[in-house]
Structure 1
């Protein structure tokens, strides 16, 4: 059985109008998502705007989510940082505060050599908390190929991979070459990923449509193609925004449309145009047409 099974929401971080972290709003969002049936929470990822936070803010966001979850669902903490030492700090913090695991990128500031990638994960592994390696060659310089993942699979605490290439063929290749569980990383492959053997989905749009996302992924895992496609075709136009560089603005607006205040994004991310927000609203209304 997979350790991190089902739909894990990569949380947005609510802000006030003055761009301060809205910790109470974050608690409310977590409680609502859990009530709607999501399987886990992932704070302090890129969708959560971790890179704009101070160390104290980031730590408090993680602690707030763990406290809100209160053991009802697992919390997997984003640990991205410019150096291995800093990433180790976030793993140690997550472990100390009771997180179920962490999501860990390879070195992010330059294109590392293979031995540097392996050593980076070796040091993370030694902290002693379950790790989901995060493969995102769209936004970062490293591609954790199935062959490279097979080398990381030697580390006992690396148990899975968030696969964000957008190539559904990768899922089967990873399952063939490693013992890692695979979590879909891009929303517009959620259904195909489940059909291909992914046991989890670290998701963006389910911040706003949690119940619909959980149902879609369940249908994919159960191989119910006709039923799942009927739901998927309503959701897919919205899911495509998850792969955009402006995904944070888009998904925060979706959360607002769902009736949950999320506030602005922190600069350098700025508000989008009315036309862009209107297109999101139209896709959101399509996604809500098919109720479950």
Structure 2
């Protein structure tokens, strides 16, 4: 159902902290024009937990406006299952094509609780679901055994695999075949995951470098691995910026440099400063200075 490059978009703010609808429209269209395969709103990178439900629905609607016939998903990541179910219903009513669901945030659920939480959200929203498995950031590991307990519910269609163990993808494929769409969620091992069978990439640095991201995906699908690897090796220092406590600030700075966007974040986050900012900006500008020429890409099937 969900394959290819699906960027997890950033949320743009005005100087007064309100949502900057016009800038989001501009940035989302940049992604679509580059050939991405859908958009995901209000994830970790989109500062979802810092937004009200109404704000998240507003961002989702902007994503759907831009994505057209391609999918627009809303991330559900709430401390309480009750609130997650409420947001899932709001997303359905607002026209979401699906949900990307984090099992829990503040309280770290055990396997029984993880299954119950995910099933409750699926029932509430009655939409296709991408399970967001990120044991490092959210302390809940959606293992293959947990996925087996969810496999009989057709609403669970995909997994965003962010365990930071590239071997997990092969374990999922060996256990379930093509039952779940498998999308890698860790930018700096995307090539490894895609060449091992992942069917998509929930991407972060795509927001500043969409053409390179799409090129890697399409070249891998065409088995033009050498060409894809050449781009990926250039991309790796940038992709490392996604695997950081400061991923939001890092990627918003990259968007500002690449596309003239703004890097406003919602408190308690603050824009990068000092030596950290110097290092990140150097990484971005160094990469731009030696940006590779992209080959003619294969057409989509």
CA distance in 2, matches of 1:223, 1:282: 33
Alpha-carbon contact 1:130-1:159 (below 8 Å) kept: yes
Q: Which residue of 2 aligns with 1:133?
A: 131
Q: Which residue of 1 aligns with 2:299?
A: none
CA distance in 1, matches of 2:115, 2:238: 36
1:92-241 map, 5 Å: 92-126=89-123, 127-178=125-176, 179-241=179-241
CA distance in 1, matches of 2:52, 2:121: 22
Q: CA offsets, 1:34-80, max 9 Å, x none?
A: 111111100111111111122322221222222233x2421011111
Structure 1 position 286, deviation (Å) = 4.2
Q: CA RMSD in A?
A: 1.5
SS at match of 1:139: helix
Go from structure 1 to structure 2 and tell me whether the alpha carbon gap of 1:148 and 1:44 turns closer, same or farther (over 3 Å shift).
same
Unaligned segments of structure 2, at least 5 residues: 295-301
**Greater relative contact order (CA < 8 Å, ≥ 6 in sequence):** 1
1:207-286 map, 5 Å: 207-286=207-286
Structure 1 position 272, deviation (Å) = 1.8
Runs of 4+ in 1 over 3 A off after TM superposition: 285-288
CA distance in 2, matches of 1:92, 1:10: 21
Farther off after superposition, 21-30 or 272-281 = 272-281
Q: Which residue of 1 aligns with 2:292?
A: 290
Alpha-carbon contact 1:12-1:48 (below 8 Å) kept: yes
Alpha-carbon contact 1:125-1:156 (below 8 Å) kept: no
TM-score (ref. length: structure 2): 0.91
Q: Which residue of 1 aligns with 2:74?
A: 77
SS at match of 1:32: helix
CA distance in 2, matches of 1:184, 1:278: 29
Unaligned segments of structure 1, at least 5 residues: none
Q: Which residue of 2 aligns with 1:86?
A: 83
Structure 1 position 152, deviation (Å) = 1.6
CA distance in 2, matches of 1:100, 1:78: 11
Go from structure 1 to structure 2 and tell me whether the alpha carbon gap of 1:203 and 1:48 turns closer, same or farther (over 3 Å shift).
same
Tell me, yes or no, if structure 1 residue 17 matches structure 2 residue 3: no
Alpha-carbon contact 1:192-1:220 (below 8 Å) kept: no
Structure 1 position 248, deviation (Å) = 0.2
CA distance in 1, matches of 2:287, 2:271: 23
Q: Which residue of 1 aligns with 2:298?
A: none
The counterpart of 2:41, out of the listed 30, 43, 46, is 43
SS at match of 1:226: helix
Alpha-carbon contact 2:53-2:87 (below 8 Å) kept: no
Structure 1 position 122, deviation (Å) = 1.4
Farther off after superposition, 156-165 or 80-89 = 80-89
CA distance in 1, matches of 2:187, 2:267: 25
TM-score (ref. length: structure 1): 0.94
Go from structure 1 to structure 2 and tell me whether the alpha carbon gap of 1:6 and 1:287 turns closer, same or farther (over 3 Å shift).
farther
CA distance in 2, matches of 1:210, 1:104: 24
